[in-house]
């Protein structure tokens, strides 16, 4: 008795491909406008004009303005690989490299997606759903910092008298993308300078 082969995933239709392309055009236009003008100053009509689509098309493809900015989080989640970086902390044995790993993730976050992060920060002041999403993102960094501190404790690398919670807080601040941004904005440091000095600072603060 022969078995029937399991069919593969159906190929997308032309309409589905066109819809996905339209959605990407809308999100790219929104990202550009949010970066140039800010969230509050950008309207759905502005995004529609920049993307070359109608306002109803934006509502059908993505949703209201808060849904548009929330959809931009997908650019970060799909391309940054921060979950893998956080998980790798659990197996690292070099305390210096462990601290550098988290800092590199946040440097890449700012470098590649600073415009989206700024849009989320601006939108969070107006939209509770965006504020909640931003808080979840901040929570991921807090979790990564705590994992780093716990791993350093397991390695016996924490400075004498420094507990895990305090170390986690120090790591959280000194490796955060907003700290990197502040150094770049206020002190006019480039990203290489900011990364190098923060890496040195967090080592002095938490390691033996």
- Boundaries of every domain in the chain: 14-64, 75-206
End-to-end CA distance of the chain: 69
Tokens of 88: 């790798």
What is the distance between the alpha carbons of residues 34 and 36, in angstroms, rounded to a whole number?
Answer: 6
CATH annotation of 75-206: 1.10.357
pLDDT at site 2? 47
Q: Which residue has the tokens 């390695």?
A: 155
How far apart CA 72 and CA 131 sit, in angstroms, is 14
81, 60 contact by CB (below 8 A): no
Query: What residue has token string 């965006």?
Result: 130
- Three-state secondary-structure class, residue 81: coil
Specify the residue for token string 């790219």.
28
Q: DSSP code of 89?
A: G
Burial 134-148 (b: 16+ CB within 10 A, else e): beebeeebeebbbbb
What confidence score (pLDDT) does residue 1 get?
47
- pLDDT tens across the length of the chain (208 residues): 444 545 566 888 989 999 999 999 999 999 999 999 999 999 999 999 999 999 999 999 999 999 999 999 887 866 555 556 556 777 889 999 999 998 998 999 999 999 999 999 999 999 999 999 899 888 989 999 999 999 999 999 999 999 999 999 999 999 999 999 999 999 999 999 999 999 999 999 999 8
Neighbours of 199 (CB within 10 A): 19
Q: Residue 190, by phi and psi: left (phi above 0), alpha (psi -120 to 50) or beta?
A: beta
Give, in order, the Cα–Cα distances in Å from 206 to each of 132, 179, 182, 202.
Answer: 30, 17, 22, 6
Tell whether domain 14-64 is in CATH 1.10.10.60: yes
* Sequence-separated (6 or more) residues with CB below 8 Å from residue 70: 129, 130, 133
């Amino acid at each position: 008795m022969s078995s029937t082969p399991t069919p593969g995933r159906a190929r997308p239709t032309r309409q589905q491909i066109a819809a996905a392309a339209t959605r990407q055009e809308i999100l790219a236009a929104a990202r550009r406008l949010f970066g140039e003008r800010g969230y509050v100053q950008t309207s759905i009509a502005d995004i529609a004009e920049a993307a070359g689509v109608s306002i109803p098309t934006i509502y059908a493809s993505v949703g209201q303005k808060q849904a548009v900015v929330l959809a931009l989080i997908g650019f970060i989640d799909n391309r940054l690989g921060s979950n893998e970086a956080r998980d790798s902390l659990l197996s690292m044995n070099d305390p210096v490299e462990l601290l550098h790993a988290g800092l590199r993730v946040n440097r890449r976050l700012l470098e590649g997606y600073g415009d989206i992060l700024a849009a989320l920060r601006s939108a969070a002041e107006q939209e509770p759903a965006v504020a909640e999403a931003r808080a979840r993102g901040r929570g991921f960094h807090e979790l990564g910092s705590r994992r780093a501190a716990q791993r350093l404790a397991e390695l016996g690398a924490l400075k004498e008298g420094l507990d895990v919670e305090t170390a986690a807080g120090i790591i959280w601040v000194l490796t955060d993308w907003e700290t990197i941004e502040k150094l770049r904005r206020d002190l006019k440091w480039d990203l290489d300078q900011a990364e190098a000095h923060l890496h040195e600072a967090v080592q002095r603060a938490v390691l033996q």
